[in-house]
Amino acid sequence: MTTLSTAEMWRVRAELFDNVLDMSAVPWIDVRAIYDVIEANVSGSSVAPTTSATAVSAAGPTTLTLASVAGLSSGSRVVLDVDSAREVVTVRAVSGLTVSVVCTKTHSGTYPVEVESALTIVRGILADLEAIDQQERIAIPQAGVKRVDEIEFFGRAEGGSAQASLTQHRNALRGRLASATGLTGILRELMARVAPGGGMSFEVY
């Protein structure tokens, strides 16, 4: 059964403001053994991943032909594709090697199809956090003061609130990541270290 990779676990740690040092640093700095437990126990589904080469050109009901439908049935939740094309859909019906689903995104080429699991949930949150990083790289150079003679900031429609919105979204995703991996208490502790006085604080439920 597939589990989180060490690289993915490092990414989780970095997103939650913890260090990414390896275990040889244990005598010198606070390294938590809980990460080894999480890495080994955030597992994929017992149903083997499959693939589809069915092109989806528009959102809506569609029928996908899969390389295998073993383990799939009506009601199964599956993750289609990767990165910005990734989405979770529910199987409505299975017939031969085809499944009926309702897509909200388009898909092309040969893309993975995997039953939703703890692993896909955590990987999905990490992918969403990476997407925010990419948006931020675009938004930051565009931020700033609009006029100098009279201070005029960019309005919401002009992207003035883009940075704040991205930060709020990232904080919400970090909270979800901490909850999904059982690290909510550790995130609270690390946030207190990173932001004394609460300058960057956010609520984790």
Query: What are 167's two structure tokens?
Result: 């930060």
Please say whether the beta carbons of 113 and 49 come within 8 A: yes
Please say whether the beta carbons of 9 and 38 come within 8 A: yes
Question: Could you tell me whether strands 111-115 and 152-153 are parallel, antiparallel, or unpaired per DSSP bridges?
Answer: unpaired
**How many helices (H) does the chain have, and how many strands (E)?**
5, 9
Token match 């938004």: residue? 139
- Using the predicted structure, report yes or no on whether residue 37 has a pLDDT greater than 80: yes
What is the DSSP secondary structure assignment for residue 158, as one 8-state letter?
G
Which amino acid would we find at residue 205?
A: Y
- Using the predicted structure, report yes or no on whether residue 196 has a pLDDT greater than 70: no
Among 1-15, 111-125, 191-205, the minimum mean pLDDT is found in 191-205
Q: What is the pLDDT of residue 21?
A: 82
DSSP string, 59-71: SEEEEEEBS--TT
Mean pLDDT over residues 18-47, rounded?
Answer: 83
Please say whether the beta carbons of 163 and 136 come within 8 A: yes
- Using the predicted structure, report yes or no on whether residue 25 has a pLDDT greater than 90: no
Please say whether the beta carbons of 1 and 159 come within 8 A: no
The C-alpha atoms of residue 151 and residue 24 are separated, in whole angstroms, by 52
Tens digits of residue pLDDT in 38-72: 999 999 999 999 999 999 999 999 999 999 999 99
Query: What are 34's two structure tokens?
Result: 């809980």
User: How would residue 205 be classed by pLDDT, with cut points 50, 70 and 90?
Assistant: very low
In 3-state terms, what secondary structure has residue 32? coil
User: How would residue 146 be classed by pLDDT, with cut points 50, 70 and 90?
Assistant: low
Residue ranges per structural domain of the chain: 6-44+118-194, 50-115
Whole-structure pTM value: 0.81
The C-alpha atoms of residue 115 and residue 136 are separated, in whole angstroms, by 31
Tens digits of residue pLDDT in 154-187: 555 555 567 778 889 999 999 999 999 999 998 9
